[in-house]
Structures are given as C-alpha cells and as structure tokens.
A and B are shown apart, each in its own frame.
Chain A
Amino acid sequence: MSSDLTELGVAAIRDGVAKGEFTAVEVAEAFNANVAAAAALNAFIVTTPEQALEAAKANDAKRAAGQPLGKMGGVPIGMKDLFATKGVQTTAASHILEGFTPQYESTVSQKLWDAGAGMLGKLNLDQFAMGSSNETSYFGNVISPWRRNDGGNAALAPGGSSGGSSAAVAARLAPAATGTDTGGSIRQPAAFVGISGIKPTYGRCSRWGIVAFASSLDQAGPMARDVRDCAIMLEAMAGFDPKDATSLNLPVPEWEAGLNGDLRGKKVGIPREYRMDGMDADVAASWDRGIEWLKDAGAEIVDVSLPHTKYALPAYYIIAPAEASSNLARYDGVRYGLRDLPDGAGLQDMYAATRAAGFGAEVKRRILIGTYVLSAGFYDAYYTQAQKVRTLIAQDFKNAFTQCDVILAPTAPTAAFGLGEKSDDPLSMYLNDVFAVPASLAGLPAMSVPAGLNREGLPLGLQIVGKAFDEQGVLNAGLAIEARAQFSAKPEKWW
C-alpha cells in the first residue's frame, strides 16, 4: 500500500482498488482527511465525507462479491457546485440559491456515481460560473495552493470558474473533479494549478441538471492530474441524454484504450494570430517548447491562420451574457432559493429585491449587459452581429483543420495572478480567456495540460484544440506533451 493514497490519480486508484492493493474505503478516508484539513483553501462549499465513504463501501462490497467495478470504481471526486446533486445543497456559489436542495441528480453526476465514483463534496466556483479567478463566489475566494517562489505568501487565484475544482485536485484534496467550461472555465484553472482538464465537443456531456450559464457554450468535463485520468473520467461523464435536446446521439469512444502519444503522420497547427504583441515571455517560451515536444513525438508542425481570433472575446461577451440574462431569469424567489420581500412589496418589487440581494456584482453586470444587447433596437447590432462573427470563427477552425489535425496554443496569456489584482477591472479579467474562448465559440474539444513552471515557479498550461468529435486526437497530443514535459511540480503544503 502506498504511503499516501492521496498522491494517486484516477487510474491508479481504480486499478489499486480492483487489484485489492488497498480498499476504496481507505482511499475515501485519506481524501476526506485532506479535505477536512484544507479549509484554508476554501475549495469546498459543502463537504460530504459520508457520501464518499458510502460509495467506497459499495465498491469494496462489490469487489468482495467478485463483481466487476465501474470505470471510476472506488474513486472519490469533487463535484463542482454547478451540478445538481439530489439531497445536497446546490448553489452555483450564489446567495440566491443558498439552501437549495435539488430533488434530482444531474445526468453527468449520476453517470459518475453509476460508474463507481463517490462524492467528497461540492466545489466552490465563480458565481454562476461567471469569472476567471473564483473571486465572484458568494462563499468567498478559493485560494490557490500554489505560491510564487519569491518567498512571499501572496494569495493567488486558482483560476475560474472551476477554481474549487482546480485547487482541490492540485492540493490533493481529490484525485479528480468535475468542471464546466463556457469560455475556458476548465482549461484556464487547470493551467493555473498545473493539472489537466478537457472540455469535450459541445453536446458530448449532457447539460441536464447543470445550472445553466450560457446554454450554447456550456460543457462539462473532467479535471485531473493527467491525461489518462481525464480520458477515463470523460468516458464516465459523456454520453447521449434524451433529456438534453442538444446532446449528441453518438456512442462514447473508448478514449483511454485509444490513448497513443505517437504523433507520426499527424499535423499540428500553430495559429499565428495567437502570437500577440506583448505576449508574456514565459508563456511564449513554453509554447515554443510545446512545439518542439510535438515535433519530437513525430508530428509535423504547420502554420495556420484563425483570422477572426481577436473578435472571439468580444463576441463571447455578447453571446454569453445575452443567454445568461435569460437563463438566470428563473431565479425570482417564487419556487426555490432566496426570497426578499420588503414590507408591502408587490410581485415585481419582490423580484427586483430578491435578485438584487441574491446575485453578486459580476452576475448583475453580465445580466445587465445581456439584457441591453437583446433589447429593442440593439438586438441586430449586437447579438445578431456576434452570432455572425461566431459563424466566421467556427469557419476559421474548419479551414485550419483542412491543414492540420490539432491546434497547439497557450491556455492562458499568463500564469496565475494574485487575488484582487484584476478584480477591479472586468475587462482585464475577461482578457484572461482570450486563448480559451475561440474553441468554446466553435464548440470544439480542447484541453489544457501542464507544460512547466514560469520564472515565478507557477504552472503554465498548453492548450490543444481538436476537430469536432475528435477528443481522442486532443488527448493523444496532450499525452505526447505530458510525456515530454515531465511535469511533477506540486504546491508545497502551507494550509
């Protein structure tokens, strides 16, 4: 038995439990203990150690009975608090949903439990997944386990919106966690803490039971220590769901079995528009190293153009708030969640008071932007124009993929920044997702893998974007990078 089970990832735990090297209960207890000792990170909104133990016991019992275990058999995970979990408070990190206890389980979380996973708790996030630093949560900031190597102890952002997920996996509070990605919310936090995360093709994972942010962009995906773990967990999460009209009716490929880091015969596109003026030198250098690694793996490197790249972020900040302004209209204090009913208030006053009290500043800002761009007289100039630009961005990728199999780019323009450094300026915060958003707008699979540390000792991620439905190609390129980056750094425990 390993001296510290919490150093193990998904595959190692699954295989160890299956072989009887250790029990699932031992694993759950080890992670429960780490979770309990990590309150300082504020990664969890709610912890559910009993649920983790219960699932572990079920797995151990199954094994004892000689039955085969599921894809995630014996693996405890963290669940982003955007997934509805039956009987366990689900808040989207908002005050307006504080205390909301769903009577249903999201499709993706149900699939994970069915595959043998157990729940360690509900992970903190940016409120309604709106943010890139986990500073918009009603339940407080998540603190990254990482610190700069300058000897200071400045609190750093774990990225966002899946900041609780990234922090928990990096700090060994969970071997893996679910994330959701609307405009980079899996990839950017994964990059900030030196873990892997993949957003699959839009429609691979059911959105049923996930608190909606922007419906045409939202996709769930795994965040884990390495590429193999992501492949395993994505297999458990993905699959057709008749309850989601945008769900892809396709069989789930065996991504883990298909893993192959040999890229001979593959072409990797390097989008020239991503090399922006004033790019962070360490980020640029890590990108260059990534190119060399993929060459070393046998790939041919080709220069590609994604000409509308600079318009992706502005288009995203019209489309996502527009959808959000409508998706969040249901939080009105009538059927669930917060109700603020001032004395003598009528129905419409109740709405305005409830929503004022229940939404944080960033959520309000995005609802107002979205309301404005959809309002009479502005719809075509903003929303229709943005959706046309989105068509062009998707077309850019289609064109590029006639010349290459996957695209390599940095995940984020910088390494993790300090909490509070960008929170006063929404625009500079938004710019953090400049490399992540284009793939979201095009619905394409994209992943971030750790590529090394910058001069401050902080992780940097590299992003691989693939063709629609080609998660395998993305995972394989990720695997090739992973094998060469040999990323083994982990945050020194201070919490």
Chain B
Amino acid sequence: MSSYRIQGATGEWEVVIGLEVHAQVTSQSKLFSGAATAFGAEPNTQVSLVDAAMPGMLPVPNRECIRQAVRTGMAINAQINKWSRFDRKNYFYADLPQGYQISQLYHPLVGEGTIEVILDEKDPEGSTKTIGIERIHVEQDAGKLMHDQHPTMSYVDLNRSGVALMEIVSRPDMRSPAEAGAYLAKLRQILRYVGSCDGNMDQGSMRADVNVSVRRPGEPFGTRTETKNVNSVRFVMAVVESEARRQVGVIEDGGQVVQETRLYDPDKNETRSMRSKEDAHDYRYFPDPDLLPLELDDAFLEECKASLPELPDAKRHRYKTALGLSPYDAAQLTLEVETFQQFEEMLDAVVKASGKAERDLAKRVANWLLSERAGVLKGIDLGAAHPKNTVAANVALIVAANDGVISGSKAKEIFAAYLTSDIDLAAEIEANKQTSDTGAIEAAIARILADNADKVAEFKAGKEALFGFFVGQTMKAMQGKANPQVVNELLRKALA
C-alpha cells in the first residue's frame, strides 16, 4: 500500500496516530458497586451510595469486570499481569463524585499485546499491519452532565458513574486515517467476539481518544494533540484527517502545535480546543488505599483462557481452509458476531437436514446469507430483524435449493413472499418444486425451437449468445419449475 502523505505547501508530511479506546466492560453491575449498568435508565436510579461517594463508602471490585479485561488481554496476545493495582487519579469535576477516578497507572492489569489489521477491507488477502497495544487497564467511568435543561445550571446524572471501562492504549503505530479506522474496527470486532464489550458506539460503549501528530517523513515525532471521545470509525478517520491538516497548516504558517485536548465537531468536520480542560493537570496518582493489590491465581487465568471463543483471525482462516470459502466471503462472514453466528447455525442445520458435508454446503449457505437473502432483506421492512426471518425458514429454503427441489432464484422469490404475506413456506416450496421430468422439458423445448426457427438458424450459424434466450424461454414455459441443469443438458442436445 502506498504511504499516506499530506501534501503541504512546503512538502510532504506524515501523520502519526495513537488511539486510547475506552470500552465499557460488559457486566451486570458496576466496577465497585452493585448498581446496575443498563443503558437508558431514569437519571440517578442506577446509583449506589458508593457511586455517589457518600462519606465512608468503599469500593469492592467486581470479579466479572476483571475477568473480561483479562480475556480481552488474552485475545490480543498480551501479557497478563498477575499482580496489578488500582490507583487514584485526582481531579475535580461535577461528573466525578469521589474527586478521583479509580484507575490503574503504575501497574495495569494487561501489558503489551498486538492487533493485526487488514488495510483494505475489500482485499482481505492484501497487506496487513501489526499495531502494538501498550496496555489495557480497568477504570471507573464518570457520570454525565446535561447543560440544556436549565438556564443557569447543569444537571448531573451519575448512572454511568462507576461503570467499568477498559482503557486500551495503542502504540503510535498508525500512519493514515485508514489504518486508524481499520484498527478501531478490528478492536471492536475482537471485543465483540470475546464478549467483553458490546461495541455499541452510538450508546457510548466505545469511545476513542485520538492522538495525532505530524512530521516530515523519517523525522522524530511532532507534538501531539488528543481529540477526546470520538464515537465512530468514520469520525476517527475524519479526526485524523482534519487534525493532521490543521497541524500542517499551523506549522507551515510558522506556528507550533500546542499539546492540548481537543473536541471533534462532526457538523463542521473540525476539531477545536477544549478550553475548559486546559488548566494544567496534575492528577496526583497514588495507589488507592481502599483496595489491596489485585492478585490473580492460575485457576482464574485458566478459566479466562478456556472461555475464549474462536477469534476473528482464526475463524476467517478456518472458513477459507476448512470450509473452502473465498477470502472475501470469509472476511464478510466473520465481520460481525451476529453474521458468523447465523452462518454457523444455518450451516449446522443444513448439514443435519441434508446429510452432506460442511465443506460441500458452506458456499451455498454463504451465498444465501451474503447475497441472495441479503438482496431480499434489503427490500423488506425491518430487514434482518423481520420476525419471520428465522433460522428454520432460511434452512428450509437453502436445503430445497441445494437439493434441486427449487431453483435459487425461486428460493429468493418464495422468501420475499413468505416475509410479506401469509403463505405457508413448506406448501410454497412444494408448489414450486422444479421438475427434472425430461419428457415435459423435451416437449417444451421442441415447441420453442419450432416457434423460433430463425433464432435456431442464427444460433447454429454461431450466435452462441442465443443459448440464454432458449434457456429463458424454456424456463418460462416450465413456469420456472424446470431444473436448470436438466434444461441446459437437453437444450444442448436438441440444438446440436
């Protein structure tokens, strides 16, 4: 892949990107209290006395949050620290009831790891890049401030206060918007596979702080800025692009990039300085004296390891090698958890129903899922969420098409009709059973060839393209129920 460069007035610039991703850990209750974590509750209803930092309240860590962070670390082949500690990060803000955030600075739970990203989604066999992960630590989320409810007041909702986050810190290894986007997408994919984060970026379950700097190719790192709380892959790419251009502009105008916190404005597609956070921070980190060091034993780590699912890279590889799928199909099917789960569930059911081997059916199921059915669902209200879009219905159609009972295109038609009307699926398949009755097909062919003597002559004179016309006419005459393979064979014979 060619290097991404920004063309400035004075020459080329290289952009250097590092991401700090905050991912909400999937858990029922908060990191240090028993209050619920569900999204969208009434304000301050999911707040315990601990989360509100009442006098004398104490934190007790949630095992599941630690477990999920460890599993995540294992999924990126990271070093798991059997001895870690929680530290306090001290600062004052209305969304931070304790006056400090319990985090991990000096001894994080997870050390160095790596993530391999595919640089071009459309070319899954193309070049990949390994992005270094510096660390993953566990920390508390803050509450939420609302500014538009009262003329002179901001309102504080502490429902999020104390929810467990993983902060996943990358190395400054990315060099283009595409790499940053691919990294975030891959990270999200891994977290969703592991089940440690739901990856719902629109609900704030994953946010990225985007560190950007520019330099002349080959020179030392420039001064970086940090754009906070960017909540989509697209926005991360946009931030990198706009912030890198802004920095190039500043430098080329003779200025200096200021190390600062910035905010992204998606409407204007630009970043701006966050003045309110600009006063020099001194977080006075120190080990939280309310908590002892976190020591993990081998049994805990073994359970974490054993409970890891097949991860995206391994799954993609298996789909190609064991199932014989194309690299593109393998990549598409493994992109989202819901997709591969459906695929595997359907494949399994189809194997059971037809008695054939996985490898012989995988391509058919993949085609159905990625193209045939996808086409049908596109035109349907609710799409994939349609209540009749069940595994059983899908499997019935895949099996019928695969066994030659109905044609592939008939399967699509039936599926669309099934979703939008009140028909019985089994009866409809039965009614549209394609025929391999050679007598009937031969009769139809004979009639068509007789009616189209001129075209027969043209074909015989070498206009091979007309073959499709004869197939079409025959299928039409058979009301779409003829086995296309049989039609093909018989037509060839008749036209020979």
Contact (A106, B98) CB under 8 Å given A348-B92, A383-B286: no
Asked whether, in the complex, the Cβ of B56 is within 8 Å of the Cβ of A211, the reply is yes
Asked whether, in the complex, the Cβ of A332 is within 8 Å of the Cβ of B99, the reply is yes
Task: Specify which chain A residues have a CB less than 8 angstroms from the CB of B59 in the assembled complex.
Answer: 245
Task: Specify which chain A residues have a CB less than 8 angstroms from the CB of B292 in the assembled complex.
Answer: 245-246
B54: interface (CB < 8 Å): yes
Residues 209-241 of chain A: 1 if any B CB is under 8 Å from the residue's CB, otherwise 0?
A: 111101110000000000000000000000000
Asked whether, in the complex, the Cβ of A92 is within 8 Å of the Cβ of B55, the reply is yes
B274: interface (CB < 8 Å): no
Give the interface SS of chain B, mostly helix, strand, loop or mixed.
Answer: loop
Asked whether, in the complex, the Cβ of A212 is within 8 Å of the Cβ of B55, the reply is yes
Asked whether, in the complex, the Cβ of B97 is within 8 Å of the Cβ of A245, the reply is no
B52: interface (CB < 8 Å): yes
Using a CB-CB cutoff of 8 Å, which residues 312-328 of chain A contact chain B?
A: 322-323, 325-326, 328
Partner of A212, one of B56, B100, B285: B56
Asked whether, in the complex, the Cβ of B92 is within 8 Å of the Cβ of A332, the reply is yes
Asked whether, in the complex, the Cβ of B57 is within 8 Å of the Cβ of A208, the reply is yes
B137: interface (CB < 8 Å): no
Partner of B58, one of A243, A323, A328, A329: A243
Distance between Cα atoms of A482 and B285 in the complex (Å): 46
A97: interface (CB < 8 Å): yes
Asked whether, in the complex, the Cβ of B56 is within 8 Å of the Cβ of A243, the reply is no
Task: Specify which chain A residues have a CB less than 8 angstroms from the CB of B286 in the assembled complex.
Answer: 322, 326, 374, 379, 383
Asked whether, in the complex, the Cβ of A329 is within 8 Å of the Cβ of B100, the reply is yes
Asked whether, in the complex, the Cβ of A326 is within 8 Å of the Cβ of B99, the reply is yes
Partner of B52, one of A209, A214, A329, A335: A335
Contact (A326, B49) CB under 8 Å given A102-B55, A215-B289, A335-B97: no
Task: Specify which chain B residues have a CB less than 8 angstroms from the CB of A454 in the assembled complex.
Answer: none
Asked whether, in the complex, the Cβ of A84 is within 8 Å of the Cβ of B60, the reply is no
B381: interface (CB < 8 Å): no
* Chain A residue nearest in CB terms to B291: A245
Residues 286-311 of chain B: 1 if any A CB is under 8 Å from the residue's CB, otherwise 0?
A: 10011110000000000000000000
Of listed A215, A334, A376, A383, residue having the most chain B CB within 10 A: A334
Residues 324-345 of chain A: 1 if any B CB is under 8 Å from the residue's CB, otherwise 0?
A: 0110111010111000000000
For residue A279, give the distance in angstroms from its CB to the closest CB of chain B: 33
Asked whether, in the complex, the Cβ of B56 is within 8 Å of the Cβ of A245, the reply is no
Asked whether, in the complex, the Cβ of A374 is within 8 Å of the Cβ of B58, the reply is no
Residues 41-66 of chain B: 1 if any A CB is under 8 Å from the residue's CB, otherwise 0?
A: 00000000100111111111100000
Asked whether, in the complex, the Cβ of A216 is within 8 Å of the Cβ of B97, the reply is no
Distance between Cα atoms of A334 and B156 in the complex (Å): 9
Task: Specify which chain A residues have a CB less than 8 angstroms from the CB of B99 in the assembled complex.
Answer: 326, 328-330, 332
Distance between Cα atoms of A329 and B286 in the complex (Å): 14
Asked whether, in the complex, the Cβ of A104 is within 8 Å of the Cβ of B284, the reply is no
Asked whether, in the complex, the Cβ of B100 is within 8 Å of the Cβ of A351, the reply is no
Residues 343-370 of chain A: 1 if any B CB is under 8 Å from the residue's CB, otherwise 0?
A: 0000110010000000000000000000
Asked whether, in the complex, the Cβ of B55 is within 8 Å of the Cβ of A329, the reply is no
Residues 181-210 of chain A: 1 if any B CB is under 8 Å from the residue's CB, otherwise 0?
A: 000000000000000000000000001111
Asked whether, in the complex, the Cβ of A334 is within 8 Å of the Cβ of B58, the reply is no
B207: interface (CB < 8 Å): no
* Chain A residue nearest in CB terms to B284: A374
* Chain B residue nearest in CB terms to A203: B292
Asked whether, in the complex, the Cβ of A100 is within 8 Å of the Cβ of B92, the reply is no
Distance between Cα atoms of A362 and B290 in the complex (Å): 23
Of listed A242, A243, A328, residue having the most chain B CB within 10 A: A243
Using a CB-CB cutoff of 8 Å, which residues 55-102 of chain B contact chain A?
A: 55-61, 88, 90, 92-94, 97-100
B454: interface (CB < 8 Å): no
Residues 79-119 of chain A: 1 if any B CB is under 8 Å from the residue's CB, otherwise 0?
A: 00001100000101000010010111010000000000000
Asked whether, in the complex, the Cβ of B53 is within 8 Å of the Cβ of A335, the reply is yes
B403: interface (CB < 8 Å): no
Task: Specify which chain B residues have a CB less than 8 angstroms from the CB of A209 in the assembled complex.
Answer: 56-57
Asked whether, in the complex, the Cβ of B156 is within 8 Å of the Cβ of A208, the reply is no
For residue A457, give the distance in angstroms from its CB to the closest CB of chain B: 39
B282: interface (CB < 8 Å): yes
Distance between Cα atoms of A211 and B88 in the complex (Å): 18
Contact (A323, B289) CB under 8 Å given A330-B98, A374-B90, A374-B284: yes
Asked whether, in the complex, the Cβ of A330 is within 8 Å of the Cβ of B97, the reply is yes
A375: interface (CB < 8 Å): yes
A421: interface (CB < 8 Å): no
Distance between Cα atoms of A379 and B90 in the complex (Å): 13
Give the interface SS of chain A, mostly helix, strand, loop or mixed.
Answer: loop
* Chain A residue nearest in CB terms to B95: A334
Asked whether, in the complex, the Cβ of A84 is within 8 Å of the Cβ of B58, the reply is no
Partner of B60, one of A245, A329, A332, A383: A245
Task: Specify which chain B residues have a CB less than 8 angstroms from the CB of A376 in the assembled complex.
Answer: 282, 284
Distance between Cα atoms of A119 and B391 in the complex (Å): 66
Asked whether, in the complex, the Cβ of A84 is within 8 Å of the Cβ of B284, the reply is no
* Chain B residue nearest in CB terms to A372: B284
Task: Specify which chain A residues have a CB less than 8 angstroms from the CB of B61 in the assembled complex.
Answer: 245
A423: interface (CB < 8 Å): no
A260: interface (CB < 8 Å): no
Distance between Cα atoms of A196 and B291 in the complex (Å): 31
Task: Specify which chain B residues have a CB less than 8 angstroms from the CB of A332 in the assembled complex.
Answer: 92, 99
For residue A127, give the distance in angstroms from its CB to the closest CB of chain B: 13
Asked whether, in the complex, the Cβ of A245 is within 8 Å of the Cβ of B55, the reply is no
Residues 124-165 of chain B: 1 if any A CB is under 8 Å from the residue's CB, otherwise 0?
A: 000000000000000000000000000000101000000000
Partner of A330, one of B55, B60, B284, B289: B55
A371: interface (CB < 8 Å): yes
Partner of A375, one of B58, B282, B290: B282
Distance between Cα atoms of A379 and B105 in the complex (Å): 14
Task: Specify which chain B residues have a CB less than 8 angstroms from the CB of A90 in the assembled complex.
Answer: 55
Contact (A375, B284) CB under 8 Å given A207-B58, A211-B55, A245-B292: yes
Distance between Cα atoms of A64 and B292 in the complex (Å): 47
Task: Specify which chain A residues have a CB less than 8 angstroms from the CB of B52 in the assembled complex.
Answer: 335
Task: Specify which chain B residues have a CB less than 8 angstroms from the CB of A216 in the assembled complex.
Answer: 289
For residue B167, give the distance in angstroms from its CB to the closest CB of chain A: 20
Contact (A371, B60) CB under 8 Å given A245-B292, A334-B156: no
Task: Specify which chain A residues have a CB less than 8 angstroms from the CB of B58 in the assembled complex.
Answer: 207-208, 243-245
Distance between Cα atoms of A408 and B92 in the complex (Å): 45
Task: Specify which chain B residues have a CB less than 8 angstroms from the CB of A383 in the assembled complex.
Answer: 286
For residue A341, give the distance in angstroms from its CB to the closest CB of chain B: 11
Contact (A330, B53) CB under 8 Å given A207-B58, A351-B92: yes
Using a CB-CB cutoff of 8 Å, which residues 229-269 of chain B contact chain A?
A: none
Distance between Cα atoms of A56 and B437 in the complex (Å): 99
Asked whether, in the complex, the Cβ of A214 is within 8 Å of the Cβ of B284, the reply is no
For residue A342, give the distance in angstroms from its CB to the closest CB of chain B: 14
Distance between Cα atoms of A335 and B44 in the complex (Å): 12
Of listed B55, B154, B291, residue having the most chain A CB within 10 A: B55
* Chain A residue nearest in CB terms to B47: A335
Task: Specify which chain B residues have a CB less than 8 angstroms from the CB of A212 in the assembled complex.
Answer: 55-56, 290
Distance between Cα atoms of A328 and B61 in the complex (Å): 21
Distance between Cα atoms of A242 and B59 in the complex (Å): 10
Of listed A90, A210, A323, residue having the most chain B CB within 10 A: A323
5 further interface pairs, Cβ-Cβ under 8 Å (given A84-B55, A102-B54): A84-B54, A207-B58, A329-B90, A347-B94, A371-B284
24 contacts between A and B (CB under 8 A): A92-B55, A100-B55, A104-B54, A207-B58, A211-B55, A212-B290, A214-B289, A243-B60, A245-B60, A245-B291, A245-B292, A325-B284, A326-B88, A326-B100, A329-B99, A330-B97, A332-B92, A334-B97, A335-B52, A336-B54, A347-B93, A348-B92, A375-B284, A379-B286
A contact set with B: CB distance below 8 Å? 83-84, 90, 92, 97, 100, 102-104, 106, 207-212, 214-216, 242-246, 322-323, 325-326, 328-330, 332, 334-336, 347-348, 351, 371, 374-376, 379, 383
User: Shortest 4 CB-CB distances between A and B: which pairs?
Assistant: A329-B99, A374-B284, A215-B289, A216-B289
